[in-house]
Amino acid sequence: MLATARSMQDLPSWSHFPLPKPDVEQDRQGFARYFDNHDGYCVPPTWQAPGDDAYDQWVSAIKAGETFCSNFQVWESQYQDPLYLSKLTLGTFGSELEMNLHDWLHMCWASISRDPVNGAPVPFARDPADFASRWFGAEHDFLGDPFSSHVSPVFWGFHGWIDDRIEDWYRAHERHNPGQVRRLEVNGVKWFAPGRWVEVDDPWLGPVTHGCSTVPGTLPGKSVEMDVETMKLALRITFGEDDKIGDLVRRVPQRPWYARHLSLRGIIS
Ligand SMILES: [Cu+2]
């Protein structure tokens, strides 16, 4: 994804996570300057989703300055620590990044979702089963959903940062387990040969290897998850209205996509 996007546009990685706003009592000027948002990385204010206290608490905690110190900075240093990385397989490291850090980055830097037509706030964000054309434009600029998050420059900053950790992981293994990880190019992407530290020989390359057909209907010889209309139906069953699915499936509460796992387990207080 990054390689393709970078072939069209300059999309630098964050070299470090942007610092939170300075304490107003310690640094009045810095505090005021923070809100000028010169670099575009100012953390936007939290918002409330009516009737969903668990969500309100979770998203405001993620955006709090204390959480930057207790979580984001801890992960930032851990995921660059050669000794720590040298004990992880690539798959385990990827899962850690995804489960601990990734969704939080999306939600920390997200602003409230807005209807692209009239700018009205949509606190629960676009319904995942709503494919109306207005959601497909660049005006739908919401970092909390994979449907729209790539519109935000912040997305490319932190995804670049995450991607850069793969090289750290490789260097860590070179240092502590020399010769045990071998570079290999797969489908034009820098990857690694399967072995003790690399379980997956088939990296997820988005639409190149794992995407849906761009032609609606069927893609002969491919399984149903490759079919756009089938996947839309699956989303409607998962997130759609109760009366259409009966008692068979419990309705998933609607929340921004990257707030699906409202775990506070990571917040160290
Ligand atoms: Cu992401």
pLDDT digit string (tens) for 180-197?
999 999 888 889 999 999
Q: SS3 for 185?
A: strand
C-beta atoms surrounding 256 within 10 Å = 27
Domain ranges in the chain?
A: 2-109+152-202, 211-251
Residue 226 Cα to ligand 1 midpoint, Å, equals 21
Q: Where are the alpha helices (DSSP H) in 89-227?
A: 90-96, 103-108, 153-176, 207-210
Residue 17 Cα to ligand 1 midpoint, Å, equals 15
Residue 145 Cα to ligand 1 midpoint, Å, equals 9
Residue 264's pLDDT band, with cuts at 50, 70 and 90, is low
Dist CA 24 CA 27 (whole Å) = 5
Dist CA 66 CA 75 (whole Å) = 14
Residue 254's pLDDT band, with cuts at 50, 70 and 90, is confident
User: Any bridge partners for residue 185, and if so which?
Assistant: 190
Residue 231 Cα to ligand 1 midpoint, Å, equals 20
Asked if the model's pLDDT at residue 73 lies above 70, the reply is: yes
Asked if the model's pLDDT at residue 242 lies above 70, the reply is: no
Residue 247 Cα to ligand 1 midpoint, Å, equals 33
Pair type for strands 189-192 and 183-186: antiparallel
Span of 133-147, 167-181, 246-260 with lowest mean pLDDT: 246-260
pLDDT digit string (tens) for 119-161?
999 999 998 888 999 999 999 999 999 999 999 999 999 999 9
Per-residue confidence (pLDDT) for residue 268, from 0 to 100 = 46
Q: SS3 for 56?
A: helix
Q: If we measure between CA atoms, which residue out of 75, 127, 78, 135 comes closest to residue 105?
A: 75
Asked if the model's pLDDT at residue 206 lies above 50, the reply is: yes
Asked if the model's pLDDT at residue 248 lies above 60, the reply is: no
Per-residue confidence (pLDDT) for residue 187, from 0 to 100 = 80
pLDDT digit string (tens) for 43-71?
999 999 988 898 999 999 999 999 999 99
Residue 101 Cα to ligand 1 midpoint, Å, equals 10
Residue 98 Cα to ligand 1 midpoint, Å, equals 8
Buried b (16+ CB within 10 A) or exposed e, 146-168: ebbbeebebbbbbbbbbeebbeb
Span of 79-88, 119-128, 154-163, 205-214 with lowest mean pLDDT: 205-214
Q: What is the mean pLDDT of the chain?
A: 87
DSSP string, 11-35: -PPPSSPPPPPPPTTT-HHHHHHHT
pLDDT digit string (tens) for 87-112?
999 999 999 999 889 999 999 999 99
Instruction: Give this prediction's pTM.
Output: 0.87
Asked if the model's pLDDT at residue 203 lies above 70, the reply is: yes
Residue with tokens 């000794």: 83
